């Protein structure tokens, strides 16, 4: 009897949920149908009203159009009054093409529609008319229709839900309650009676399947309980063994955790340390690892130039032994067994090197000759090759290496292996970077310098002009110089003498540059260019004339020049203010034109032009 309240709640819950689900689905579907029916009803009523209004207009249209055309106001107002007299027309608004409006009736409805029509006479548009008709009655009819639909459909839905609720209760729920009662009457593994439904067996349905499944479950549970009792006896025999394994695993896990924490600290030391302090960091972590291993010595070797070079080592404070030495790599490669074990990164460990050597172990004999009594070592690899070694050793006597020490040594090598490889890459990359920067600097100088004179070449001139023009600080002057009658000089004095003149000319022009941004440049052949900062055109004129005279004062003899008995130059000068829109090629073309004028005027003189193309001698 204590189960009845639970059964009632269970029965009420499942039937109620089924009824509510059916009610919800039916309601949604009914709402959709009611919406469509209401919409169709409203549309039909609205269409009928529009057609009635249209009929009124068609009847009145001829008279209204004639009265509007004849300007018969009396007739027009009478016709409009007749239209608004119709029950379903509240207001008429007629507007002629002359802008005169005629209105009849008034809008009193809350909702209304407007039908607009054009008026014409003999094919000519003479105005428009708008008829306003009320929609309140349509809305009221639609609401009454909606209430009727909702009431009728709600009654159907509720009736259907009640019928389904009764059917579910009779056909399903009461049998499920009976199965639940049988299940809860006793534990499955103790129940002896089979599960069965108290009803006529017409056919095997889902409820029978549930009863069969419960019966199968009852039998399976009884069998499982029998097997469980047997298994529990076996489990008891394994319990002590498992406890021992757990204790061993806990100990191993604790050691592994300590090793992982230690290696994490070592890795963090390398990560936080500066690359330039790599050696100091390695020495520090080597001391920590040596103390953790509790050995006499810990050494890190690197394969370098056919030998294992000592990179860093640590020796216990209470041990007095000589420093480690670099070892020729041939000693290890000569022992094929030892070499193969190193290539495969096998941990090599000897508790007693002397005893192992006496047993004809050549690898042990080789390691014994290095001094220790007991050793453990592991290789470090780079792309499959032996990159280095990490060795731990005892010098005061033999030692039994524990698995903990083996694991710690292996993990330590795993940590420092990539660090050392990366550090070597960094050092090599830095060296390459320095060499590349030196080469780039040399190439940059060569690319912008004239070989003969040491002056900037044409490319450097363009770059310098671009920088000066972009800066737009003050006016700039461009001087284009050409050595007068230089070909006869080369023909009679020789090209070596001509080259010397060019070199002296370059040195002289460089010495005449006054400011930091002034630039002397070999433009090509016997032509030179100078870029100078000036305040105004008069200053540029004076500077160019002084430069012209200073070249003549150099006194370089030229016995084959019709202009003078010494080397002279013709100068084309361009004065440029930064507020003019000129590009570099335009400025150089102006300078070339000015130089051409100076040559045509007799050479050994200056011709100045302004960058806006207005020339000035």
DSSP string, 233-279: HHHHHHHHHHHHHHHHHHHHHHHHHHHHHHHHHHHHHHHHS-GGGHH
pLDDT at residue 613 greater than cutoff 60: no
Beta carbons of 559 and 565 less than 8 angstroms apart = yes
Beta carbons of 363 and 369 less than 8 angstroms apart = no
Confidence bin at 569 (pLDDT 50/70/90): very high
Q: Look at residue 512 in the predicted model and tell me its pLDDT.
A: 92
Residue 613 CB partners (closer than 8 Å, separation 6+) = 590
Q: Look at residue 516 in the predicted model and tell me its pLDDT.
A: 86
Q: Pick from 464, 466, 475: which is nearest to 576 by CA?
A: 475
2-10 long-range contacts, CB within 8 A, separation 24+: 3/181, 3/184, 7/177, 7/180, 7/181, 10/177, 10/180
Q: Look at residue 485 in the predicted model and tell me its pLDDT.
A: 95
The residue from 65, 90, 178, 526 that is catalytic is 526
Tokens 């009728």, located at residue:
152
The per-residue pLDDT of the chain, averaged, comes to: 82
Confidence bin at 2 (pLDDT 50/70/90): very low
pLDDT at residue 538 greater than cutoff 50: yes
pLDDT at residue 222 greater than cutoff 90: no
Q: Pick from 250, 254, 255: which is nearest to 407 by CA?
A: 255
Fold of the 4-152 domain: Beta-Lactamase (3.30.450)
Give CA–CA dist 478/414, Å, rounded: 67
154 or 6, higher pLDDT: 154
Confidence bin at 549 (pLDDT 50/70/90): very high
Q: Look at residue 275 in the predicted model and tell me its pLDDT.
A: 63
Burial of 267 (0-12, 13-18, 19+ CB in 10 A): middle
Is 276-429 in the same CATH topology as 4-152? yes
Convert the pLDDT of each residue in 25-34 to its tens digit.
Answer: 878 888 888 8
Q: Look at residue 520 in the predicted model and tell me its pLDDT.
A: 93
Q: DSSP label at 606?
A: E
Convert the pLDDT of each residue in 170-215 to its tens digit.
Answer: 767 766 776 677 676 666 656 666 666 666 666 676 767 777 777 7
Confidence bin at 4 (pLDDT 50/70/90): very low
| 3 state SS for 375-420 | EEEEEEEECCEEEEEEEEEECCCCCCCCHHHHHHHHHHHHHHHHHH
Give CA–CA dist 575/591, Å, rounded: 9
- DSSP run (H or E) holding 475: none
186 or 231, higher pLDDT: 231
Q: Look at residue 501 in the predicted model and tell me its pLDDT.
A: 94
The pTM of this model reads 0.38
What does the domain layout of the chain look like in residue ranges? Answer: 4-152, 187-272, 276-429, 458-616
374 or 161, higher pLDDT: 374
Q: Look at residue 185 in the predicted model and tell me its pLDDT.
A: 64
Over pLDDT 70: what percentage of the chain?
83
Catalytic site includes residue 526: yes
Tokens representing 610 are 């302004």
Q: Look at residue 115 in the predicted model and tell me its pLDDT.
A: 86
The verdict on domain 276-429 having CATH code 1.10.3470.10 is no
Q: Pick from 463, 433, 612: which is nearest to 531 by CA?
A: 463
Query: How long a stretch of residues is the chain?
Result: 617
In the three-class reduction of DSSP (H, G, I as helix; E, B as strand; rest coil), residue 161 is classed as helix
Q: Look at residue 31 in the predicted model and tell me its pLDDT.
A: 85
Convert the pLDDT of each residue in 313-343 to its tens digit.
Answer: 899 988 888 898 888 877 676 666 777 888 8
| 3 state SS for 510-562 | HHHCCCCCCEEEEEECCEEEEEEECCCHHHHHHHHHHHHHHHHHCCCECCCCC
Convert the pLDDT of each residue in 487-530 to its tens digit.
Answer: 999 999 999 999 999 999 999 999 999 888 899 999 989 999 99
* Mean pLDDT of the region 457-472: 86
Beta carbons of 522 and 528 less than 8 angstroms apart = yes
Convert the pLDDT of each residue in 61-108 to its tens digit.
Answer: 898 888 888 888 888 888 888 888 888 788 888 888 888 888 888 876
In the three-class reduction of DSSP (H, G, I as helix; E, B as strand; rest coil), residue 360 is classed as coil
Give CA–CA dist 511/553, Å, rounded: 14
Least confident of 18-22, 43-47, 235-239, 440-444: 440-444
Residue 324 CB partners (closer than 8 Å, separation 6+) = 297, 299, 310, 313
Q: Look at residue 500 in the predicted model and tell me its pLDDT.
A: 95
Centre a 10 Å sphere on the Cβ of residue 99 and count the other Cβ atoms it contains: 7
Q: Look at residue 164 in the predicted model and tell me its pLDDT.
A: 79
* Mean pLDDT of the region 551-576: 95
Burial of 185 (0-12, 13-18, 19+ CB in 10 A): exposed
Q: Look at residue 23 in the predicted model and tell me its pLDDT.
A: 76
* Mean pLDDT of the region 120-146: 85
Class level of CATH domain 458-616: alpha beta
Q: Look at residue 252 in the predicted model and tell me its pLDDT.
A: 65
257 or 460, higher pLDDT: 460
Least confident of 147-151, 301-305, 441-445: 441-445
Beta carbons of 527 and 505 less than 8 angstroms apart = no
Q: Look at residue 504 in the predicted model and tell me its pLDDT.
A: 95
Beta carbons of 484 and 563 less than 8 angstroms apart = yes
435 or 355, higher pLDDT: 355
Tokens representing 138 are 């349509």
Least confident of 11-20, 393-402, 452-461: 11-20
């Amino acid at each position: 009897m204590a189960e009845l309240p639970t059964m009632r709640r269970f029965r009420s819950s499942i039937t109620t949920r089924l009824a509510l689900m059916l009610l919800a689905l039916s309601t949604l579907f009914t709402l959709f149908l009611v919406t469509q029916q209401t919409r169709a009803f409203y549309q039909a009523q609205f269409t009928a009203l529009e057609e009635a209004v249209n009929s009124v207009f068609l009847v009145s249209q001829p008279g209204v159009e004639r009265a509007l055309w004849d300007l018969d106001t009396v007739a027009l107002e009478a016709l409009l009054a007749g239209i608004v007299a119709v029950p379903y027309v509240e207001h008429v608004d007629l507007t002629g093409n002359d802008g005169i409006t005629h209105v009849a009736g008034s809008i009193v409805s809350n909702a209304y529609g407007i039908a607009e029509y054009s008026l014409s006479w003999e094919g000519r548009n003479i105005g428009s008319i708008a008829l306003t008709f009320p929609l309140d009655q349509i809305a009221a009819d639609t609401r009454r229709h909606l209430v009727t639909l909702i009431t009728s459909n709600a009654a159907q839905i509720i009736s259907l839900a009640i019928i389904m609720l009764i059917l579910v209760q009779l056909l399903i729920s009461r049998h499920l309650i009976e199965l639940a009662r049988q299940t809860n009457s006793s534990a499955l593994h103790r129940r002896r009676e089979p599960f069965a439904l108290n009803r006529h067996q017409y056919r095997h349905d889902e409820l029978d399947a549930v009863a069969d499944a419960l019966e199968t479950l009852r039998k399976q549970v009884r069998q499982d309980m029998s097997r469980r009792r047997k298994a529990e006896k076996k489990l008891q025999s394994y319990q002590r063994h498992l406890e021992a394994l757990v204790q061993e695993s806990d100990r191993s896990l604790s050691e592994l955790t300590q090793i992982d924490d230690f290696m994490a600290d070592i890795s963090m030391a390398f990560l936080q340390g500066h690359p330039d302090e790599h050696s100091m960091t390695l020495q520090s972590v080597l001391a920590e690892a040596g103390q953790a291993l509790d050995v006499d010595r810990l050494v890190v070797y690197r394969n370098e130039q056919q030998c294992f070079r000592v990179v860093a080592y640590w020796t216990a404070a209470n041990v007095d032994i000589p420093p480690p030495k670099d070892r020729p790599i041939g000693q290890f490669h000569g022992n094929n067994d030892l070499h193969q074990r190193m290539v495969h990164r096998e941990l090599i460990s000897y508790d007693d090197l002397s005893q192992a050597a006496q047993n004809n172990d050549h690898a042990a004999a080789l390691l014994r000759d290095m001094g220790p009594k007991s050793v453990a070592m592991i290789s470090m690899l780079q792309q499959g090759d032996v990159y280095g070694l990490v060795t731990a050793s005892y010098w005061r006597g033999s030692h039994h290496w524990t698995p903990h020490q083996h694991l710690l040594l292996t993990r330590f090598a795993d940590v420092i292996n990539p660090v050392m490889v990366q550090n070597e890459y960094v050092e090599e990359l830095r060296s390459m970077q320095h060499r590349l920067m030196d080469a780039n600097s040399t190439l940059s100088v060569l690319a912008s310098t004239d070989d003969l004179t040491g002056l900037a070449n044409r490319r450097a001139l363009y770059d310098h002009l671009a920088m000066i023009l972009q800066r737009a600080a003050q006016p700039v002057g461009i001087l284009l110089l050409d050595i007068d009658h230089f070909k006869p000089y080369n023909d009679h004095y020789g090209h070596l003498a001509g080259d010397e003149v060019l070199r002296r000319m370059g040195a002289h022009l460089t010495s005449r540059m006054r400011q930091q941004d002034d630039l002397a440049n070999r433009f090509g052949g016997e032509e030179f260019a100078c870029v100078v900062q000036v305040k105004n055109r008069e200053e540029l004129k004076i500077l160019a004339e002084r430069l012209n005279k200073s070249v003549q004062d150099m006194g370089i003899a030229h016995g084959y020049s019709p202009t003078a008995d010494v080397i002279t130059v013709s100068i084309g000068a361009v004065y440029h203010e930064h507020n003019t829109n000129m590009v570099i090629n335009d400025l150089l073309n102006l300078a070339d034109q000015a130089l051409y004028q100076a040559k045509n005027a007799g050479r050994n003189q200056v011709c100045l032009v302004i960058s806006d193309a207005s020339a000035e001698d």
